[in-house]
Amino acid sequence: MNPGFAVHEFSRVFLLTIPLIVGGVVHMVAVKADILSYFKKPIHQRWFGQNKTWRGFLVMPLATWPGVFLAKSVEPLFELNEPLFRNHSTLLVAVLLGLGYCLAELPNSFVKRRLGIREGQTSDRYKWFFVILDQADSAFGCLLAYRLLFPISMETMALAVGFGTVLHLLINVALYGAGLRKNPL
C-alpha cells in the first residue's frame, strides 16, 4: 500500500468515525441522565438482557445526528476523491447509523446471555474475545449502514473496524473516568 493511499484511506476512516464518537458520547449522557426513561424497556429480556432497550433505538439515531452534521461540515477539508456525506441527507445517515449501531449489538448480547454472562459483564473464560467483540460489533454495524449509502473498499472497512474498535475502547475508558459508564470495558 503506497503512503498516499494509506493517508487517503485513514482520512476517510477518521471522517466516518466522527458521527459515531459524537453519537456514543451523547447516548451515554442520555443514559446517565435517564432521558426518555419511558422507553427504557428491554427489547427481549431473555434473549438480549435488560440493557438492550427500545430507548437505544430511539436515542442512537438522534444522538448520531449532530455527528453526521459535523462530519458533513468538515468533509471538504479532507479533499477526498469521492464525497461521503455531501450527497446524502444528514437525517437519513444518522438514522441508518443509529440503527446499524444498535442492531449489530444484539447478536453479541444474545450469545452472551446463552453463555450465562450477565448484562454489562464479561466472561472470565473468554474475557478478551468479548471485550474486543463488545467494541467491534457496533463499528461493524455502522460500516454496513455506510455501505448502503456509498462504496467502501475492503481496505477501508478493515481499517475502520480496527480503528473503530480501538477508538471505541478508549472512549469507553474515558466515559468511565467521567462517571458516564459503569465499567471501563
Return the pLDDT at 103: 96
- Flag whether 156 is in a domain: yes
Q: What is the mean pLDDT of the chain?
A: 87
> CA-to-CA distance for 181 and 185, rounded, in angstroms?
9
- Flag whether 25 is in a domain: yes
Read off the pLDDT band of 126 (50, 70, 90): confident
154 — alpha (psi -120 to 50), left (phi > 0) or beta? Answer: alpha
- Flag whether 95 is in a domain: yes
Helices 54-74 and 3-32, interaxial angle, to 10°? 140
- Flag whether 182 is in a domain: no
Return the pLDDT at 132: 82
160-178, pLDDT tens digit by residue?
Answer: 888 888 887 888 788 888 8
Contacts with 114 (C-beta within 8 Å, 6 or more apart), sequence order: none
The answer, yes or no, to whether residue 7 has pLDDT greater than 80, is no
72-93, pLDDT tens digit by residue?
Answer: 999 999 877 788 898 899 999 9
Read off the pLDDT band of 3 (50, 70, 90): low
Read off the pLDDT band of 58 (50, 70, 90): very high
CB 99 within 8 A of CB 142: no
- Flag whether 138 is in a domain: yes
Across the range 111-124, mean pLDDT stands at 82
Number of domains composing the chain: 1
Question: Degrees (nearest 5) of the Cα angle 70, 72, 75?
Answer: 105
Return the pLDDT at 71: 95
- Flag whether 184 is in a domain: no
Min mean pLDDT across 17-21, 82-86, 102-106 is at: 82-86
Min mean pLDDT across 36-40, 79-83, 145-149 is at: 79-83
The answer, yes or no, to whether residue 16 has pLDDT greater than 70, is yes
Return the pLDDT at 39: 94
Return the pLDDT at 176: 83
Across the range 180-185, mean pLDDT stands at 77
Q: Which residues constitute the domain of residue 84?
A: 3-177
- Flag whether 183 is in a domain: no
- Flag whether 166 is in a domain: yes
For the beta carbon of residue 3, count every other beta carbon within 10 angstroms: 7
> CA-to-CA distance for 56 and 43, rounded, in angstroms?
10
